[in-house]
Amino acid sequence: MAMPTPSLVQDTEIAMTVRAAVLDLLRAFGMTSIFGNPGSTELPLFRGFPQDFRYVLGLQEAVVVGMADGYAQATHNAAFVNLHSAAGVGHAMGNIFTAYRNRTPLVITAGQQARSILPYDPFLFSAQATELPKPYVKWSSEPARAEDVPLAIARAYYIAMQPPRGPVLVSIPADDWAKPCEPVAARVVSTEIRPEPRVLDAIGEALDTSLRPAFVVGAAVDRDGAWSDVVRLAERHNAAVWVAPMSGRCSFPEDHALFAGFLPPMREKLVSLLAGHDVIFAVGAAAFTYHVEGSGPHLPAGARLVQLIDDPNIAAWTPQGTSAVGSIRLGVVDLLAREPPQPRGRPAPRREPPRVEPSTPMSVAFVMQTLAAIRHPASIVVEEAPSSRPAMQCYLPILRSETFYTMCSGGLGYAMPAAVGVALGKPGAKVIGLIGDGSSMYSIQALWSAA
């Protein structure tokens, strides 16, 4: 067979563009939904928009990121976000911060002006594109060459999906998309790290010998698919189960006999509620998330803290105790592989709240009680009503895994667009947006995307 002519080789080499290479990568990563609010510097990505992709338009960048956050959490995969340069990223920063605290994997691309005019400070460019989103992205890059954009997208995806997951940003000049480049193949990169056996053994021994253990569960339990395993482990130890302060997910059935309630972000009150327990197991949780200044010990007298967490930074600042770092699910599975401990009695059950009677105007508690009565247990609640959260926690119990989402950041404007993203990620599910505190006004444009 004759060798191809040099001209044919050259034509083959330049057939692939940055745009085509990136689209192929997104297909391989399962990211064929693009969330965006485009400006002029983003438009080259969308020429001849491929039929197998879906574009989800938001009318403001905070809405775009909120929808992508909900979608990524619902699908367990990074979501692809396309924003305008400095101004667009600035609008989005509130929900980028929330995605960072939610540990939500997002690959955020931001348009940049054409490379040829960057030396002249052109209109709508980003002067420090990689610095703008920091410190609330895991990684940010503006590739040195157009040919490096696909590699940067691939690296961004792998970093976003590594625990603890989170958002990343790639700034892409507008004229890069049409430049020739070599294709980049998607790789398999592990996203689970097994906790160190020696440290898990110490945690297991502490639980086995405890007289009155308590679990403090956090959002990472549900994020990591460890709900059922944590229930089994709590039942094995007959441990009272508390929810960590400011948790963005439900990680234990709130109608379970072992469910004890919700811990507040106040040091003295947290210590008071945990009094009487000799071992406290923080699983998937930063047990010490405080919102107001406090003083005194972090734990009740005589109590010992052990922790299983997916974030080494949390393990580093936890003020005392033993911390194992790694996958929550794999760690709990390893703890379940131990020999069962000696039987111990169950803790006292949680006191049921009194029934709320109708009033004029309706109380928040009555609204929550009514919603609990009429919703299906599989319905998904996406909540952003911080002032009403105590009433919700009393009268609207969450019963199943992946049926509750809120923000771990305290930044308003998340839940309305996130409800749209969760609905897109879980088609057919009933999604209830529970919005209060004026939160809807921060991202009211989400109603357009919902419609």
Q: Of the listed 90, 261, 294, 410, which one is catalytic? A: 410
Dig out the tokens for 122 from the structure: 């052109």
Residue 40 is among the residues annotated as catalytic for this protein: yes
Question: Would residue 30 show up in a list of annotated catalytic residues for this protein?
Answer: no
Helix (H, G, I), strand (E, B) or coil at 135: coil
178 touches 17 (CB < 8 A): yes
Are the C-beta atoms of residues 22 and 181 closer than 8 Å to each other? no
- Is 410 catalytic? The answer is yes
Catalytic residue among 33, 36, 58, 61: 61
Peptide bond into 340 cis (omega under 30): no
Q: Which residues pair with 405 in a beta bridge?
A: 249, 382
- The single-letter code of the amino acid at 94 is G
Exactly one of 116, 131, 228, 291 is catalytic; name it.
291
Measured CA to CA, the distance from residue 417 to residue 433 in angstroms comes to 9
Looking at residue 263, its amino acid is: L
Q: Is 256 a catalytic residue?
A: no
- Residue 184 token pair: 């980049």
The three-class DSSP label of residue 434 is strand
Known active-site residue 84: yes
E-assigned strand segments in 96-153: 106-112, 140-141
Query: Which is nearest to 381 in space by CA: 353, 411, 423, 410?
Result: 423
Cβ partners under 8 Å of residue 278, min gap 6:
210, 211, 212, 213, 302, 303, 304
- Single out the catalytic residue among 40, 116, 228, 272: 40
Q: What share of the chain is helix, strand, coil (3-state, %, to 5)?
A: 40, 15, 45
Active-site residue identified among 70, 84, 171, 449? 84
Of 39, 204, 218, 425, the catalytic one is: 39
Active site residue 36: no
Q: Considering the candidates 33, 36, 42, 88, report the single residue annotated as catalytic.
A: 42
The catalytic residue positions are: 39-40, 42, 61, 84, 291, 410
